[in-house]
Amino acid sequence: MSQLNPRQREAVRYIDGPLLVLAGAGSGKTSVITRKIAYLVETCGLRASRIAAVTFTNKAAREMKDRVGKLLGGNAAEGLTVSTFHQLGLKIIRSELKLLGLKNGFSIFDGQDTQSLIKDLLIQEHGSDGDQAGIIQQQISNWKNDRVLPEQALAGASGPAQMLCAQAYRRYQRALKAYNALDFDDLILLPTILFESHADILEKWQNTIHYLLVDEYQDTNSSQYLLVRQLVGVRGALTVVGDDDQSIYAWRGARPENLAQLQEDFPGLKLVKLEQNYRSTSRILKAANTLIANNDHVFEKQLWSELGYGDPLRVIRCADENHEAEQVVAEILDHKLRKRTRFGDYAILYRGNHQSRLIELALQQQQVPYHLSGGTSFFARNEVKDIMAYLRLIVNENDDNAFLRIANVPRRKLGASTLEALGNFANEQHCSLSQAIGRIGSGVLPEAGRNRLREFRLWMDRIRRQCEGGGGISAVRQMIREMDYEEWLNQLSSSEDVAERRMGNVHFLVDSLNRVMTDEGVELDEAISRLILRDLMEQQEEEDASPDNVQLMTMHASKGLEFPHVFIIGMEENLLPHRASVEDGNIEEERRLAYVGITRAQQTLAMTMAARRRQFGETINCEPSRFIDELPQDDLTWQGTDVDDQQANEERGQETLAGLKELFA
């Protein structure tokens, strides 16, 4: 407690009713949550298993659990729930399966599964080419986040486009049910619906969770918020912390106004504001404050710190994107040498994942160790998706998406026409593809195709029995051997090295599964669900991150983190702010994103911009981001060649070259 300031202490000690801690970046909001959990256990005598904390990423959840564990010592933190909203939802769903009409071993569809399902439905049932699947997927997700059910969507649809969307939604829900599957949004939606209709179940959960804490509250959407309200009930044992200026997930339905909503729904809400920042130099804070002053605010606040005025913020002008990457890496190497820092002290932040590629190359060239967060996630790799599909099919034979992914991987001579005939038959019979195999008669399919399908199903059934019969992980290993997946990878890969690396990923996946089973004491099917969920939250690789790496990530992913030295690259119009947001006039959200990026920095901050950049095969001229203009100009130093000079130089160089060529011609 002595390490906290009086305001923070007040927030930790206040347990008489709902509490909102509203504060800017780096003011110790997350620290308050961690301390408060310890306080509730140590001083208030609450059992850790009666406390739940919700964070935004798995990584944050793990870190928080670690910290609380250290604060409390021993096994006092045992049973504490620290999770994301989705994990919490999954936990509730798992224990109320029957009421929800789900069978054991249900599947969780990721965005890709969802989209391909919608696409199939559009093609099959609406005679469309499926182009709109992405848009419809987003609309369905919006509906789910706003708790609009298919019937309501249909009733409210105006115009043919919305009608199509709503029909697709209804059809999609039916398909999910048939597959015994849930999508990501369902993990929140279903518990809230269940709680609404079953007061006794709600009461049971309210009695399980005696105190709820929520970090990064500004990014909860309305169905997540409802879940909070339901769980807290009239008891009001709730602490939420947030910063409206860091709300950056509008596209997932989060709104800064949600913070104000809280005051309406909890009339007794106590508000604590924190304004001292413990992370950054005054100069960095001044820049952040000045920038964000251009936005409308829900709550006014002004950050300050006692960490000295600090170095000026640097704006580094570069000729193009290659130059930008080289510059950043050169700066890091130079700075590290002079200041004797570690690579892990540096972070490179950007607006979109594609911006990391050249930086990665430049880092590799200079042999700088780095860690990329949230790039091509481990689980997005083909071989991993294949094996995951097999696993999904083991726990749920009706998971048609998984079935379709691997029916012919490795090749089993099950051609498109065989699968299509099977699909049509399954539709008629209202059963899953696996089930259809058992029922299909000779009139529907040629004998050879039918036999191959049967063979496949018999084999899968045997594997499933082995897994269920306690065979666990060794049954999975045997399955991979029996289908000779390694040989398949050899055929598929451009070189032996590639095949070997891919098989390595498969082994890693199986080992991870094994680890989840032993560490978390769960059966294979539960372990698979947990892995799938973690995959969706993109974190698996982070566990392997060795500590001394330059960190590369999007500004979205940098939320809640801090680094001594930060580079924000691509400070240009159409990158930050992003082109789509410029076109939609949604600049405020982009400004908040820039604010998040800037406030990650503890000691130094540099921003780069390129004069030209290749985009879609052509070179375009870039304009500095408007956000640079909005920073306090006296606190900036400009670095790098003046772009116009450089252009002139280059043109002069070209002329000389042309002259020389002429001379030698």
| Site of interaction with Mg ion (CB under 5 A) | 29-30, 560
**DSSP letter string, 411-467:** --S--HHHHHHHHHHHHHHTS-HHHHHHH--TTTS-HHHHHHHHHHHHHHHHHHHHI
C-alpha radius of gyration, the chain, whole number: 27
Answer yes or no: 215 catalytic.
Answer: yes
> Is 299 an interacting residue with respect to ligand ATP (CB under 6 A)?
no
Residues 6+ apart with CB under 8 A from 129: 122, 123
- Take residue 356 and report the two structure tokens written for it: 């990391």
> Is 449 an interacting residue with respect to ligand ATP (CB under 6 A)?
no
Selected from 11, 12, 20, 25, the binder of ligand ATP by CB under 6 A is 25
Answer yes or no: 339 catalytic.
Answer: no
- Take residue 279 and report the two structure tokens written for it: 């992370």
3-state per-residue secondary structure call for 298-317: CCCCCCEECCCCCCCEEEEE
The interface mask with ligand ATP, positions 258-287, x = CB under 6 A, is: --------------------xx--------
Residues 6+ apart with CB under 8 A from 560: 30, 55, 56, 57, 60, 215, 216
Residue of minimal Cβ distance to Mg ion: 30
Question: Is residue 658 packed enough to be buried (19+ CB in 10 Å), middle (13-18) or exposed (0-12)?
Answer: exposed
| Given 96, 110, 183, 216, the catalytic residue | 216
Alpha-carbon gap, residue 587 to 596, rounded angstroms: 14
Instruction: With CB under 6 A as the rule, give the number of residues binding ligand ATP.
Output: 18
65 is in an annotated binding site: no
> Is 377 an interacting residue with respect to ligand ATP (CB under 6 A)?
no
| Given 215, 397, 525, 589, the catalytic residue | 215
Q: What residue type is 137 in one-letter code?
A: Q
101 is in an annotated binding site: no
Nearest to 325 by CA among 354, 356, 346, 352: 356
- 8 Å CB contact between 419 and 443: no
Which one of 28-36, 63-71, 257-265, 579-587 is the stretch in contact with ligand ATP (CB under 6 A)?
28-36
Alpha-carbon gap, residue 205 to 189, rounded angstroms: 16
> Is 577 an interacting residue with respect to ligand ATP (CB under 6 A)?
no
Which one of 2-10, 63-71, 173-181, 377-385 is the stretch in contact with ligand ATP (CB under 6 A)?
2-10
Q: Which residues pair with 287 in a beta bridge?
A: none
> Is 244 an interacting residue with respect to ligand ATP (CB under 6 A)?
no
Range 644-650, long-range pairs (CB < 8 A, 24+ positions): 646/319, 646/611, 647/611
- 8 Å CB contact between 460 and 467: no
Alpha-carbon gap, residue 611 to 327, rounded angstroms: 14
* Minimum distance of ligand ATP from residue 85's CB (angstroms): 17
**Cβ nearer to ligand ATP, comparing 18 with 28:** 28
Report the residue count for the chain: 665
Residue written as token pair 């997350």: 30
> Is 254 an interacting residue with respect to ligand ATP (CB under 6 A)?
no
To the nearest 10 degrees (0 to 180), the angle between helices 496-520 and 382-395 is 40
310 is in an annotated binding site: no
Answer yes or no: 525 catalytic.
Answer: no
Answer yes or no: 29 catalytic.
Answer: yes
Selected from 7, 11, 22, 26, the binder of ligand ATP by CB under 6 A is 26
> Is 27 an interacting residue with respect to ligand ATP (CB under 6 A)?
yes
157 is in an annotated binding site: no
Which one of 18-26, 68-76, 159-167, 368-376 is the stretch in contact with ligand ATP (CB under 6 A)?
18-26
Nearest to 558 by CA among 353, 339, 282: 353
Which one of 25-33, 219-227, 400-408, 620-628 is the stretch in contact with ligand ATP (CB under 6 A)?
25-33
26 is in an annotated binding site: yes
Nearest to 205 by CA among 63, 52, 325, 66: 52
Residue written as token pair 């997946």: 485
The interface mask with ligand ATP, positions 614-653, x = CB under 6 A, is: ----------------------------------------
> Is 560 an interacting residue with respect to ligand ATP (CB under 6 A)?
yes
* Minimum distance of ligand ATP from residue 623's CB (angstroms): 29
441 is in an annotated binding site: no
Look at residue 27 and give the partner it binds from Mg ion, ligand ATP, none, a contact being a CB closer than 5 to 8 Å depending on partner kind. ligand ATP
Residue written as token pair 């105006």: 158
Selected from 113, 183, 185, 243, the binder of ligand ATP by CB under 6 A is 243
Which one of 3-11, 145-153, 314-322, 400-408 is the stretch in contact with ligand ATP (CB under 6 A)?
3-11
**Cβ nearer to ligand ATP, comparing 28 with 570:** 28
- 8 Å CB contact between 247 and 87: no
27 is in an annotated binding site: yes
Q: In sequence order, what E strands does 342-387 have?
A: 346-350, 370-372
512 is in an annotated binding site: no
279 is in an annotated binding site: yes
> Is 31 an interacting residue with respect to ligand ATP (CB under 6 A)?
yes
| Given 29, 144, 385, 502, the catalytic residue | 29
Which residues carry a binding-site annotation for ATP? Answer: 23-30, 279
Residues that bind ligand ATP in the complex, under the rule CB under 6 A? 3-5, 8, 23, 25-31, 243, 246, 278-279, 560, 562
Residues that are catalytic: 29-30, 215-216, 246, 600
Which residues carry a binding-site annotation? Answer: 23-30, 279
